[in-house]
Amino acid sequence: MSTSPALTSQALMLLGGAVVAAPIFKKFGLGTVLGYLAAGVIIGPLLHQITQGEQILGFAELGIVFLLFVIGLELKPSRLWQMRRDIFGLGTAQVLLTGAAVSAILYETGLLDWSGSVITGFGLALSSTAFALQILDEKGDTNTRYGQRAFSLLLLQDLAIVPLLALIPLLALQTAQDRTTPLEDFAVAVGAILAMVIAGRYLLNPLFQIIARTGAREVMIAAALLIVLGAATLMQLAGLSMAMGAFLAGVLLAESSYRHELEADIEPFRGLLLALFFMAVGLSLDIRVILDNYQLILVAVPALMLVKAAVIYTLCRLTGSPHNDAVRIGLLLPQGGEFGFVLFTAAATAGVFSAGWASLLIAIVTLSMALTPAASALAGLLIREQDEETEELEEDFDGAGADVLMIGFSRFGQIAAQILLAGGRDVTIIDHSAARVRQAATFGFRIYFGDGTRLDVLRAAGIERAKIVAVCTQKMEITDRIVDMVQAEYPNARIYARAYDRSHTLSLRARDVDYELRETFESGLVFGRKTLEGLGIGDNEAQAIMDDIRRRDEARLVVQAAEGISAGRDMLLFEPVKPEPLIKPRRETPPSLAADDDILPATTSSKAKPENDVLAGVD
């Protein structure tokens, strides 16, 4: 048995093109996807070494099939639920608004009929998952706040390809051989999906249990391929896409104990066939159509990127993202995506629009992808100020719930937690710093990643079981928000709060918290006492002075609560020492300003008070 020399040479050229082009393009920050596309264009339309691009593309679409299967495996219901607002709210709004806007522009300009405009508009609404995640990974921003929102948008877009592919048969022209109506085709498709769901629920896991008992690795790989290709073929027979079938199979196996093994088995096939798919897209490009319409392409690419960036920025701002994050997300996702290649190729095959138009769209998407690194770099010029990005982790409160729920675990909380643990009390700690959570976990603290200003997070962390809620957050506005929320939802909860300064202490007392303490007060007293001792004053006398200052401070707080922040100045004086203020008050300082820790009105903001954590020493 011999292999055709022509087939062997074509395979060698494709493999060689992938091996050479992908590393070069990745080195220049353009991504491997554009490298595969460029290799296909050079081998096919430019050098004419391979002319059967469409035939290779038909086989290479299996790469998209395997990709959607892997995406389905990652979509555990618990993860979707945690990100539901961004995925199904922000993500759905972005696809619908961007798709509707681009479709309307295409239809009004007369470039396409309504069906072609819909497929094109919604196809261009999808962004490049491969490019965006690569940029986030290179910048180390994958787990930042804006990186997680961008990922949510990409995830919804990946999900959107499924209904868009299912929409193509309904929009395609019915041929003379068709004996069924689009409505009948739709009913068949729904029936096939239901059959898939039933089979996945009752057959797939038992099947893998039987195979696993054999211990044969190659049989497990064969079973994985059988499941993916079988599901894909079933959907194709029902008039839908193979990719949709693979995606459903992945979702049905997302909770399976064999999920990770299946992903590992499929990954080599997915990577190789996906590279072949992008190369086949390059092989299938009609260069003449692109050259004849280069003016349209030069206008369409920046117009597409501008429309998408504007829609994404606006939606992110409306859903709570700060300006800087919205700019970063908008300029990270303005390009067309690799799933557009899939959608446009399938639409051209089904007759929704011509193959020439598909080549034009592929060129537009390719150029927009090539401009993505430049667009992302532009974000640095448009953000108002460099803000520190907050890394995000998956919220998992398994095992949470204790006598004390501590919110915030910077230096103040770390010291307090040690006292509680030494007293034999369990403490559940939540903090919104991923780095702090990781570091604290290595020291044995029961700490969970979460935003303490969210009621659902507090409930998941066991606030209903807690005897005391210890609010140890750094910023007074955050502390106040948490205290107000806890008092509104759990009026019987005992709240111990960390106060930022004197005015914050008065504010917390007005809220009737059970206990509050200024973060620097006690340490300042001890420091002053030790300094007196260093100057030769006896231990007992220094202790008496410190106790007297503490009593004066408490009395002054009582007066200030009744008469205002400027009251009680006489209590700062020692008797019978000459009544000189410890620090002369500045007359130009208005008494309405927030008071600093202990003496005078403050001129600094709590927002500008960073805390560096040293968990090993816990300060």
Higher pLDDT, 288 or 407: 407
Looking at the structure, do residues 420 and 465 belong to the same domain, yes or no?
yes
Q: What does the pLDDT look like over 567-580, one tens digit per residue?
A: 766 666 444 333 34
Locate tokens 């927002």: which residue?
Answer: 607
Looking at the structure, do residues 360 and 411 belong to the same domain, yes or no?
no
> CA 465 to CA 400: how far, in whole Å?
10
Looking at the structure, do residues 377 and 423 belong to the same domain, yes or no?
no
If you average pLDDT over every residue of the chain, what do you get? 77
Higher pLDDT, 525 or 175: 525
Q: Is residue 27 assigned to a domain?
A: no
Percent of the chain with pLDDT over 70: 78
pTM greater than 0.75 (yes/no): no
Tokens at residue 2, please? 């011999």
As a whole number of angstroms, the longest Cα–Cα distance in the chain is: 111
Do the Cβ atoms of 449 and 430 come closer than 8 Å?
Answer: yes
Mean pLDDT of all residues in 515-539: 87
- Asked which of 351, 382, 413 is the last residue of a domain, the reply is 382
Least confident of 191-205, 544-558, 567-581: 567-581
Percent of the chain with pLDDT over 90: 10
SS3 448: strand
Looking at the structure, do residues 256 and 365 belong to the same domain, yes or no?
yes
Q: Is residue 616 assigned to a domain?
A: no
Looking at the structure, do residues 233 and 367 belong to the same domain, yes or no?
yes
**pLDDT higher than 70, residue 179:** no
Looking at the structure, do residues 179 and 300 belong to the same domain, yes or no?
yes
Query: Would you call the peptide bond into 182 cis, given omega within 30 degrees of 0 as the criterion?
Result: no
How many Å is the Cα radius of gyration of the chain? 32
Tokens at residue 456, please? 């659902």
- For residue 108, what is the domain's CATH number? 1.20.1530.20
**pLDDT higher than 70, residue 27:** yes
pLDDT of residue 29: 66
Instruction: Write out the residue range of the structural domain in which residue 549 sits.
Output: 404-608
pLDDT of residue 80: 64
The 8-class DSSP code of residue 595 comes to B
pLDDT of residue 75: 66
**pLDDT higher than 50, residue 231:** yes
Banded model confidence at residue 356, pLDDT cuts 50, 70, 90: confident
Q: Is residue 517 assigned to a domain?
A: yes
Banded model confidence at residue 222, pLDDT cuts 50, 70, 90: confident
Mean pLDDT of all residues in 580-591: 40
Q: Is residue 618 assigned to a domain?
A: no
* Element of type H or E holding 615: none
- For residue 482, what is the domain's CATH number? 3.40.50.720
Looking at the structure, do residues 142 and 247 belong to the same domain, yes or no?
yes
> CA 368 to CA 371: how far, in whole Å?
5
Higher pLDDT, 475 or 607: 475
Looking at the structure, do residues 377 and 460 belong to the same domain, yes or no?
no
Banded model confidence at residue 181, pLDDT cuts 50, 70, 90: low
Q: Is residue 100 assigned to a domain?
A: yes
Higher pLDDT, 528 or 3: 528
Q: Is residue 95 assigned to a domain?
A: yes
pLDDT of residue 588: 42
Amino acid at 525: L
The 8-class DSSP code of residue 579 comes to -
**pLDDT higher than 60, residue 605:** no
Looking at the structure, do residues 331 and 440 belong to the same domain, yes or no?
no
> CA 597 to CA 393: how far, in whole Å?
34
Q: How many domains does the chain have?
A: 2
Looking at the structure, do residues 176 and 236 belong to the same domain, yes or no?
yes
**pLDDT higher than 50, residue 198:** yes
Higher pLDDT, 340 or 242: 340
Locate tokens 């067309």: which residue?
Answer: 336
Q: Is residue 28 assigned to a domain?
A: no
> CA 485 to CA 453: how far, in whole Å?
8
Q: Is residue 22 assigned to a domain?
A: no
Looking at the structure, do residues 373 and 486 belong to the same domain, yes or no?
no
- Asked which of 350, 382, 414 is the last residue of a domain, the reply is 382
Looking at the structure, do residues 371 and 423 belong to the same domain, yes or no?
no
pLDDT of residue 618: 39
